[in-house]
Structure 1
Amino acid sequence: MPRVPSDDEGVASVRVSLARSGGTRRPCVRIPEDDALDGRVESGTCESLAMTPGDVIRVVIDREERYAPVTADGSGRLLRGAFDNRRLAREAGGGENRLVAWLDANGREPGDSVVLDVIVPGELYGLRIPGERAVYDATRGPRSSLADIARDLDG
């Protein structure tokens, strides 16, 4: 499996902000709309983040791959959590929220920013603290037909 550093020319790095959404006190990651990416892309090229509300994406946090549901509020797309498997991500609230734990451990709060690395658009992303370097295992998920079958079996 190929390993890709965050500073590789094939990885687009987008500065994203942390927000508080709804009545929760927990921070979440605000994903900029694709037409607002200008000025946020720190390296690489990125015309689209290739994610829509309802998707469950794979996100690497501290070298661990997690699953994050893409949601939306009146201001745009959000990642409110990252979970150990796709089922927990779809249930949105089952299991430990690894995103919130990572943000807490790094002292990040709403108003701060993190970097979203686009490793495999629409499938695999990485989150890191600005100025830090990360190395990712650039694996592709199963073809959508296999993912659909697994989702149906999983409930």
Structure 2
Amino acid sequence: MPERVPHDHPSVETVRATLARRGRSSRPRLALPDDADRFPTGTTRLVLGGETHHARIESGLDGDREITGAYDNARLARDRDGTDRLDEWRSSAGIDLGRSVVVDVVEPGFLYGVREPGERAVYEATEPPDEGLAAIARDLDGDRDG
């Protein structure tokens, strides 16, 4: 059974990010600190409002790390297909674009949580898959960059 870890647990690092506008659209992107160790590019799990989704951490046009959407599974995240749960979460929480949010780094490259500053969160900390098995799965699924 996965261990439950609160956002203020010593193993969870918390950083500020910005819920920014994606280009000229009204769709959000999560502008992350440019830190390759904390935010390596590739597909990851992202908790929004207590629900776990999948997202891609990418290098934006300015070179900084960003997440441009959250989806129901890893394939949808890679293809950017289906309902964007990041936009859905932003709308339901009433968070304006340009506002700061908090990102909890539960397991770098594997599990992150996004919340409003001051909001509490508890995460189900599961172990990342064995890197050898994860590489085989990425190769089979066609996701060679993470």
State the TM bucket, normalised to the shorter chain: 0.7 to 0.9
Contact 1:124–1:140 under 8 Å retained in 2: no
Alpha-carbon distance between aligned partners in 1 of 2:9 and 2:129, rounded to the nearest angstrom: 24
Deviations 1:74-126 (A, max 9, x none): 2511111011110001101x111111100111111221011100101121111
Task: Indicate the residue corresponding to 1:42 in structure 2.
Answer: none
Length, aligned pairs only:
140
What percentage of residue pairs aligned between the two structures are identical?
46
Query: Any idea what the Cα deviations from partners look like across 1:37-58, whole Å, max 9, x if unmatched?
Result: xxxxxxxxxxx41423xx1111
Aligned to 2:61: 73
Given the two structures, how large is their TM-score scaled by the length of structure 1? Answer: 0.83
Quote the RMSD (CA, aligned, Å).
Answer: 1.7
Say if 1:59 and 1:82, in contact at 8 Å, map to a contact too: yes
Unaligned runs of 5+ in 2: none
**Structure 1 unmatched ranges of 5 or more:** 36-47
What SS does the corresponding residue of 1:117 show, helix, strand or coil?
strand
Deviations 1:14-64 (A, max 9, x none): 1111111324320111001139xxxxxxxxxxxx41423xx1111111222
| Whole-angstrom CA distance in 2 between matches of 1:65 and 1:50 | 17
Summarize the alignment of residues 5-16 of structure 1 with structure 2, pairs less than 5 Å apart.
Answer: 5-16=6-17
Residue in structure 2 matched with residue 85 of structure 1 by the alignment: 73
Q: Does 1:154 align with 2:141?
A: yes
Q: Partner residue of 2:28? A: 27
State the alpha-carbon separation in 2 of the partners of residues 116 and 88 from structure 1: 22
